[in-house]
Structure 1
Amino acid sequence: MAEPVRLAPRGSDFARLAHKINEAGLLDRRPVYYAVRGALVAAAYAGGWALFAWVGDSWLQLLVAAVLAVVFTQVGFLAHDLGHRQVFRSRRTSDIVGLLVGNLGIGLGWGWWNTKHNKHHANPNHEDHDPDVSPAVIVWSEDQVANSRGLPRFIAKRQAFWFFPLLTLEAWHLHVASVKALLKPGSRHRRTEAVLLLTHFALYFGAVFAVLPFGKAVLFLIVHQGIFGIYLGCSFAPNHKGMPVLTAADKLDFLRKQVLTSRNVRGGLVTDVALGQLNYQIEHHLFPNMPAPNLRKAQPIVRQYCEEIGVSYLETGLFSSYGQALRHLHEVGAALR
């Protein structure tokens, strides 16, 4: 088991970096960018469903399902930016648009997801506080393996091989978790969220089963939701999986906690679009409300600053990031083999 990381808190390190970022104007809103991006995503969403209606009862609908899965993921990326208030300064406006994009657009519970994601940002890769590394089916640390039982313990033996197949269920998991969250009291927009989610599911399943016979409809759902889940998982997995998993024994200041648990993915415009610009994960975690197009500009500033203060800054290729994540999962399950 790895030794805990013990570093003295040095909050002033982040303050100096934040001053550099502010001076560069990289926290300023980008309304034109988000207006164009939002219009393109909305057009793709409407166009995808128009294509579905035009193709009709045909096996070509499986290709349409794949196209719509890509579009749904891009809608999810936009919802992510809205949740961090990268688009609008106002929380109320962000919530209104986020509810429409998340709940109504793709069946993702806005309130539940925001709460979960904010916990992740507060304590990334912390096995006690980050819900993204909670031992549900996949286990992320040797301690979690030791305490696992049932299905997680069975999966853990070969979880590196199970990882991508399990991602086909990720979209379904998000839908179910969104509904379950609304069954618990305390949601800020519980009634609104419930109405929008039910409307999404009624329109979604109604359209699929109205246009396609039962067998093709079921296959459409499997392909669409399966690719949607894989795309989401493949977009988020490179960011933290395979990076250090923290425990209560690890004492890190804010900057180190965010940088040492995050990984950037190299690439150009295609990578940026494909990953929703979350490939600049280090910069995103340091400045979560920074508009997405500014993350690329912030990267050289952050990287140079980390070099100056001696903080490890990891950037790798996309496939290398998957390799690191899978090797970590395989090593974690070694005790069970």
Structure 2
Amino acid sequence: MSGQQEYVSLYTDLLQTVRELGLLRRRHGYYLVRISVVMTGLLAVAAGVVLLGNSWFQLVLAFVLALLLVQVAFLSHDSAHRQIFDSAARNDWTARILAGAVLGMSVSWWRSKHNRHHGAPNQVDKDPDVQLKVLAFHPDAVTERGPVGQWFAARQGWLFFPLLTLEGVGLHASSLTHLLRRDASRTDRIDAAIVAARIAAYVAALYVLLPAGKATAFLGLQLAVFGVCLGAAFAPNHKGMPIVPASMKLDFLRRQVLTSRNIRGGFFTDLAMGGLNYQIEHHLFPSMPRPTLRRVQPIVREYCELQGIAYAETGLFASYGIVIDYLNNVGLRARDPFDCPLAADLRSGGRNLA
């Protein structure tokens, strides 16, 4: 067997084991309950806003609404990955309705961006999540900046979580920019109509039901909490893990495992991160239903140990420390982005993985 075939078979052997154990089967009951609970919660918040009226206690409802919308984002993510239904069309429309009509964002914009991330996580020239204008994730991105940009990059780890308060606004703005471009497709135009109607109805309802000051505070708090919670769920998964140089080729298994990090925890970690705390397993099996990721984790971890592939796992707050430290020092370290743990794994056999 050639080297390339050997590395391909590493993943196909693991995938075959997972299939034989039935771990890719859909979990319709789980998602029915999850969607029903979240939608009931949203309706309860809407009723609460109407009944509570002109009161600053509305900000409590704004906070709860933000948490519920984070759960909607996770459900839309699952559906866009086709984890919920066997039918691709039902998954796509569920994702579109959850993202557009409930969340107010474009699923087509998100899918395009997220698919590129899954195809090449942490790769300099391909992963949009390491090509952000605000944050620098690799040394070249720091050296290309002027004095002010370099000053910011040296402190961006400490500024990262405060910046997440703007993430909700940024996501909505990026979504609308994508939908309103001149070459928008028919699907994008459908998304644009859904998103525009949702945003207009939500904002109008707030300013009709509440005085302008309270409505603005409600909207601002909801967007800030949403951005922080969603960003805090995605941040630990890849930030601070090895950055893949543009010219390096990796087999699928190593590419997904070595650039991803799992987060330890129980029920509340699963809830707060929407199952993304099993990031390694999610990247290996993107269509695997969320509740199954916990079951497949021991299998994947043992398989990686047998193959000598580093498997990263840490606690939630420890992961935030790693993210902050990495972002603050990205211009100083990772001159060779694959120093520890990836370089050792790749160089031990003197291999050029394809």
TM-score scaled to structure 2, two decimals? Answer: 0.90
Checking the alignment, whether the CA contact within 8 Å between 1:85 and 1:94 is kept in structure 2 is yes
The equivalent residue for 1:264 is 262
Give the superposition deviation at 1:91: 2.0
Give the superposition deviation at 1:226: 0.3
Give the superposition deviation at 1:157: 2.2
* Structure 2: stretches of 5+ with no match in the other structure: 334-354
Instruction: Report SS of the residue matched to 1:201.
Output: helix
Give the superposition deviation at 1:249: 3.1
The C-alpha deviation readout for 1:42-84, integer Å capped at 9, x for no partner, is 1111112222222211111111111100000000000000110
Give the superposition deviation at 1:188: 4.7
The equivalent residue for 1:220 is 218
Q: Which segment is superposed worse, 297-306 or 271-280? A: 271-280
1:124 is matched with which residue: 117, 121, 130? 121
1:83 paired with 2:80, answer: yes
The equivalent residue for 2:63 is 66
Give the superposition deviation at 1:151: 6.4
Taking a change above 3 Å as real, the CA distance of residues 80 and 118 of structure 1, as seen in their structure-2 partners, is same
The equivalent residue for 2:303 is 305
2:302 partner amino acid: Q
The C-alpha deviation readout for 1:93-122, integer Å capped at 9, x for no partner, is 112111111011011111000110000000
Give the superposition deviation at 1:152: 4.4
1:276 is matched with which residue: 246, 253, 274? 274
The C-alpha deviation readout for 1:125-182, integer Å capped at 9, x for no partner, is 1121111111310110111111134864442121011101110111111101111101
The equivalent residue for 1:3 is none
Q: Which segment is superposed worse, 111-120 or 325-334? A: 325-334
Alignment partners' CA distance in 1, 2:252 and 2:146:
33
Checking the alignment, whether the CA contact within 8 Å between 2:156 and 2:328 is kept in structure 1 is yes
Instruction: Report SS of the residue matched to 2:56.
Output: coil
2:51 partner amino acid: W
Alignment partners' CA distance in 2, 1:273 and 1:133:
26
Q: Which segment is superposed worse, 181-190 or 99-108? A: 181-190
Alignment partners' CA distance in 2, 1:204 and 1:154:
39
The two structures, once aligned, show a CA RMSD in angstroms of 1.6
The equivalent residue for 2:328 is 330
The equivalent residue for 1:170 is 167
Instruction: Report SS of the residue matched to 2:83.
Output: coil
Summarize the alignment of residues 16-35 of structure 1 with structure 2, pairs less than 5 Å apart.
16-35=13-32
Give the superposition deviation at 1:198: 1.1
Alignment partners' CA distance in 1, 2:184 and 2:213:
39
Instruction: Report SS of the residue matched to 2:241.
Output: coil
The C-alpha deviation readout for 1:272-310, integer Å capped at 9, x for no partner, is 111111100000000000000100000000000000000
Instruction: Report SS of the residue matched to 2:137.
Output: coil
Summarize the alignment of residues 70-219 of structure 1 with structure 2, pairs less than 5 Å apart.
70-149=67-146, 152-184=149-181, 185-219=183-217
2:155 partner amino acid: R
Alignment partners' CA distance in 1, 2:312 and 2:209:
48
Q: Which segment is superposed worse, 321-330 or 246-255? A: 246-255
Checking the alignment, whether the CA contact within 8 Å between 1:157 and 1:334 is kept in structure 2 is no
Checking the alignment, whether the CA contact within 8 Å between 1:159 and 1:333 is kept in structure 2 is no
1:103 partner amino acid: G
Instruction: Report SS of the residue matched to 2:240.
Output: coil
Checking the alignment, whether the CA contact within 8 Å between 1:158 and 1:333 is kept in structure 2 is no
Alignment partners' CA distance in 1, 2:191 and 2:69:
18
Give the superposition deviation at 1:235: 0.4
Summarize the alignment of residues 211-250 of structure 1 with structure 2, pairs less than 5 Å apart.
211-250=209-248
1:54 paired with 2:51, answer: yes
1:217 partner amino acid: A
The equivalent residue for 1:317 is 315
1:209 partner amino acid: Y
Checking the alignment, whether the CA contact within 8 Å between 1:111 and 1:188 is kept in structure 2 is no
Alignment partners' CA distance in 2, 1:325 and 1:155:
16
Instruction: Report SS of the residue matched to 1:10.
Output: helix
TM-score scaled to structure 1, two decimals? Answer: 0.94
Taking a change above 3 Å as real, the CA distance of residues 304 and 90 of structure 1, as seen in their structure-2 partners, is same
* Structure 1: stretches of 5+ with no match in the other structure: 1-6
Q: Say how many residue pairs are matched.
A: 329
Checking the alignment, whether the CA contact within 8 Å between 2:180 and 2:192 is kept in structure 1 is no
The equivalent residue for 1:4 is none
Alignment partners' CA distance in 2, 1:150 and 1:182:
35
Alignment partners' CA distance in 1, 2:219 and 2:206:
8
Structure 1 residue ranges, 4+ long, deviating more than 3 angstroms after superposition: 149-154
Alignment partners' CA distance in 1, 2:88 and 2:80:
9
1:25 partner amino acid: G
1:254 paired with 2:252, answer: yes
Percentage of pairs with the same residue: 47
1:292 paired with 2:290, answer: yes
